[in-house]
Amino acid sequence: MHTPIHTLLDTLRQLRKARRLSQLELSLRLGVSQRHVSFVESGRAKPSRELLLAWLQELDAPLVVRNEVLLQAGYAPVYTTALLDDPALNQVNSALEHLLCAHDPMPALVIDEHWNLLRLNRGGQWLTTALIPGAADLPDNAPINLLDLLAHPEGFAKPIVNLEEVGPPLLAHLRHEASAQPALTPRVDAFEAMLHRRLGGQNLHTLWARPTAPVLTTRYATEYGELAFFSMFTTFGTPQDITLASLRVEHLFAADEFTHGVLRAQVE
């Protein structure tokens, strides 16, 4: 039994609004009339499978959402979901390991669309225990979600000394992700609540001032001194599998020579 049709309509409207497109703009991209877009979104017309795939492509919907929408419309899903340890992904795993190892001693970690930590290199392991000493006692197979650790009172945000600078833009970024991945919303809400507690209930939107540097730098107070990092993400180009589409490698780079020296000295 398929999900009721109103779920399909709500999803299509939400995806369009998340991309800030009007019905007219979407219709021009799809090569159909605005009236037809309106009829589909109101349930007065059912899109063909081909139109629906083009629709979701124009809205840059995540692959998992595309499968869900196809099912809601009564069509078979298109995209596969392979386990990361599937032999078919051997080349992918080799590429991930290469990225992680090549970035040592700087931290690097693999996360999915829900911010679950899947893998990290030696630099990432060292930094995690430096920022959250209790993390060293976790079992190797314990599931770790980075958003949960950001929102936790004893988590990654606790040692950040410039939280008023980096917190609001990170929250805005997470809100944007949650617009396409609603499952993130409770965790993003928890992160926002933590920011309000730490920053004294100030308006998080007005705290986000004009950027003063090309990249946002996060500074942490640690027993080794103040460490500063900025990040860059690597993703797979044109992935055709849901697992691969969800993966990101976050590379942390030292923002100053002191941080670089600490990492070189501490990560063997």
Q: Does the pLDDT of residue 262 top 70, yes or no? A: yes
Q: What would the CATH number be for the domain defined by 87-266?
A: 3.30.450
Cα 160 to chain centroid, rounded: 20
Residues 30 and 16 sit within 8 Å (Cβ to Cβ): no
The mean predicted confidence, pLDDT, of the chain is 89
SS3 at position 112? coil
List, edge to edge, every strand of the sheet that includes 225-234. Answer: 117-120, 108-111, 248-254, 225-234, 218-222
Tell me whether domains 5-72 and 87-266 share a fold: no
Residues 116 and 145 sit within 8 Å (Cβ to Cβ): yes
CB atoms inside a 10 Å sphere around CB 145: 16
Q: What is the pLDDT of residues 8-50, one digit of tens each?
A: 898 899 899 988 999 999 999 999 999 999 999 999 999 999 9
E-strand ranges in the chain read: 108-111, 117-120, 218-222, 225-234, 248-254
CATH T-level fold of 5-72: 434 Repressor (Amino-terminal Domain) (1.10.260)
Question: What's this model's pTM, rounded to 2 decimal places?
Answer: 0.79
Q: What is the pLDDT of residue 201?
A: 66
Alpha helices, H only, the chain: 5-18, 23-30, 34-42, 49-58, 63-72, 90-103, 122-131, 146-151, 163-180, 185-198, 204-207, 242-246, 257-266
Residues 76 and 53 sit within 8 Å (Cβ to Cβ): no
**Residue 85, H or E segment:** none
Q: What is the pLDDT of residues 52-65, one digit of tens each?
A: 999 999 998 889 88
Q: What is the pLDDT of residues 119-159, one digit of tens each?
A: 999 999 999 999 998 776 666 667 889 999 999 999 999 99
Residues 253 and 229 sit within 8 Å (Cβ to Cβ): yes
Domain boundaries, the chain: 5-72, 87-266
Q: Which two tokens stand for residue 38?
A: 């309106």
